[in-house]
Structure 1
Amino acid sequence: MMPRSKLNLRLSQVKNRASLVLLILATLGLSGCAFKKLIYDRLDWVVMYQIDSYLDLDKNQKLKLKPVVTEAISWLKREKVPGAIGTIEKLEEAARRKTYDQNVNSAFTAEIDSIRIDLLKKYETPAVELLLSLTGEQVDYLAKKLSKGNEEIEDILKDKDLSDYDDVLKRQKKTLVEYYGDLTSAQNDSFFTTMRLTREKMELRLKERKRVQAFILDALRSKDKTRITTLIQTFRDHGEVWQDKEYVEYRQVAEKRWEEFLVSFHKSLSDAQWLHLQGKLMETRLDLLRMIGRE
């Protein structure tokens, strides 16, 4: 997340490749020191809550999963977060020099990929066991959650002029503003021009979302250990659960559009925006240091 996700370039796609570490990074964006301390102290609870919100786990499933999550978090803090911190420090230095450093961004991409790959190699067995244990009712619950996520696109498409789409783009823009500060008029126009989808492309997005969701749900309903294991391994190796040619091409086009905008966007940054980015990177690094007890 996606060449793969880059902290200062690929924020939206980090969410699309969610894993334990990415969930942790996302929680660091929540404001309030007291709340962050709660997150650090009860990270296992946060992860369990997120999983349960999609799968509606029963008591026995939670009892089996919780020690796995606790161990995975400890492993992550010990083995992976220190390397990510070092790379974020290099991103800070690049921002200090007001330079887009492709090598450093690639290094951070590799860090995120290695975390996902190693995490799923280490915990593949309990992950498969959890998914195999899901009841038909739990898979239906997941289906409803996934369908709920499609409603925004469906509602936009109901309007002849796609009038609600600007609200979606404004929310996406908040990510840029959070990390870079206020945008100039030219940057704002460039963002909306580049990221606004036509009706045809929005219909394609909805179609591909539904196709990959159907693929996941069908695999879970099959109770086929080989299919479910392959699903997890595919996500581990590629950052996507499905390698259908049409779906992969759709994802690549979407990612390319976002990356091309951001490469151009970095060339337009003001001194104040570079400084803002540097501060946000430092904040993230310090949050991660606190999380692993190295304040």
Structure 2
Amino acid sequence: MRRLGLLLAVLLLQGCSAIKLGYNQLPTLSYWWLDGQLSFSDAQAEPVRNALKNLHDWHRRSELRSYAALLDSLAQQSQSTLSDQQVCSVWDDVQGRLDRTLREAVRQAAPVAVQLGPRQLQHLARHWERKNEEWEDQWLQGDPQLRLERRVERAVDRYADFYGPLTGAQQTLVREQLQQSAWTAEWGRRDRKRRQQDLLATLQSLQRTRPAAAEAEAALLGVWQRWTRPPAAEDQQVMTRLTRQACSHLAQLHATTTAEQRQRAMRRLRAYERDLRELSP
């Protein structure tokens, strides 16, 4: 569920051709991704494909024009210095849009979720074990300095794709920001496993009880809500700090950008906007 919504958002942060190609192929790509984790039976394949198509049609019809309007606003704001509050306002807007998408995804997914069998859930658990090992190899290996350098490299590449090459001073700023981050690999691993276990336990309960659609939807929606608002106060505090830091860090970096970098950012945003308007019905 969360992956479907995030995939829609990620497509808005890629190159223009990737938006058109990726968005139009999203139901197929999503099916392959889900099938790799759950190994759908022949009887399940068609309902899953239909659910993904329905979600895609809903998103194209209901969300794309509003995303295009958001990008128009961002393109205008990109030419000025941004406050932390402005960045967080955009983040809250995007989170609200993702929440709407995930609610629709839950509505479409519930009839399929109650039909999953024990072997499929075991397959999902094994898939996550492999992915967790890969994640740990990437983020938990090496001393703290090496881990930091990996994060800096990824962050600099992400910013450079949007603004163009960062200056030495900007790269230093990114490094200092990540050194101050509330995120740690240990916390990231724990939260990752918390979310996986929550979803797996919910799917196992649905598999045992085979509830009505409304009850299944409520259970799956509860998973999404706990993913974004974890039950433990400590985890809530970390996520709140991470959000505030993300807003502050982006505002700080944007304040250092040159006129050329801001023009590049605006051109990218305008290109995204045009693509989304062309994709809209």
TM-score, structure 2 as length reference = 0.80
Name the SS of the counterpart of 1:133 in structure 2: coil
**1:94 deviation in Å?**
1.5
SS at match of 1:88: helix
2:37 is matched with which residue?
54
- Structure 1 residues 268-277 or 126-135, which shifts more? 126-135
1:80-91 equivalent positions in 2, closer than 5 A: 80-91=63-74
In the other structure, the counterpart of 2:273 is: 285
Q: Mind listing any 5+ residue stretches in structure 2 that lack a counterpart?
A: none
Q: Give the alignment of 1:88-107 within 5 angstroms.
A: 88-95=71-78, 97-100=79-82, 105=87
- Structure 2 residue corresponding to 1:39, chosen from 22, 37, 47: 22
The answer to whether the Cα contact below 8 Å between 2:37 and 2:124 also exists between their aligned partners in 1 is yes
Q: CA deviation at 1:82?
A: 0.6
Are the aligned partners of 2:163 and 2:264 in contact in 1 as well (CA < 8 Å)? yes
Rounded Cα–Cα distance in structure 2 between residues aligned with 1:76 and 1:290: 14
Distance 1:112 1:161, change over 3 A: closer
Identify which of 245, 256, 260 aligns with 2:233. Answer: 245
Confirm whether residue 151 of structure 1 aligns to residue 133 of structure 2: yes
- What does 1:107-186 correspond to in 2, within 5 Å? 108-109=90-91, 111-152=93-134, 154-155=136-137, 156-160=139-143, 163-186=146-169
Shift of 1:64: 0.6
Contact 1:85–1:288 (CA under 8 A) maintained in structure 2: yes
Asked if 1:27 is matched to 2:11, the reply is: yes
Match of 1:4 in 2: none
| CA offset digits 1:100-155 (Å, max 9, x no partner) | 27786566445534433434444544322222222222222322333334335533
How many residues align structurally? 275
Distance 1:258 1:111, change over 3 A: closer
Q: 1:217 aligned to 2:174?
A: no
Structure 2 CA distance, aligned partners of 1:52 and 1:246? 35
Cα distance, 1:37 vs. partner? 5.0
Is this contact kept in 1: 2:162–2:268, CA < 8 A? yes
Higher RCO by CA contacts (8 Å cutoff, separation 6 or greater):
2
Identity of aligned residues (%): 18
Report the aligned-residue RMSD: 3.4
**Residue 49 (structure 2) pairs with residue 66 (structure 1):** yes
Moved more, 214-223 or 101-110: 101-110
**Secondary structure of 1:100's match?**
coil
The two structures have a TM-score, normalised by structure 1, of: 0.77
The equivalent position to 2:252 in structure 1, one of 243, 257, 264, is 264
| Letter paired with 1:51 | L
How has the CA–CA distance of structure 1 residues 161 and 47 changed in structure 2, closer, same or farther, with 3 Å as cutoff? closer
Does the 8 Å contact 1:30/1:36 carry over to 2?
Answer: yes
Q: Is the 8 A contact 2:195 2:227 kept in 1?
A: no
CA distance in 2, matches of 1:57, 1:253: 39
Q: What is the identity, as a one-letter code, of the residue corresponding to 1:264? A: Q
Is the Cα contact below 8 Å between 1:84 and 1:111 reproduced in 2?
Answer: no
The equivalent of 1:9 in structure 2 is: none
Unaligned runs of 5+ in 1: 1-15
Mapped contact 2:84–2:251 kept (Cα < 8 A): no
Counterpart contact for 1:219–1:227, Cα < 8 Å: no
Deviation at 1:220, TM superposition (A): 1.9
User: In the superposition, relative to structure 1, how do residues 196 and 141 fare at CA in structure 2: closer, same or farther (>3 Å)?
Assistant: farther
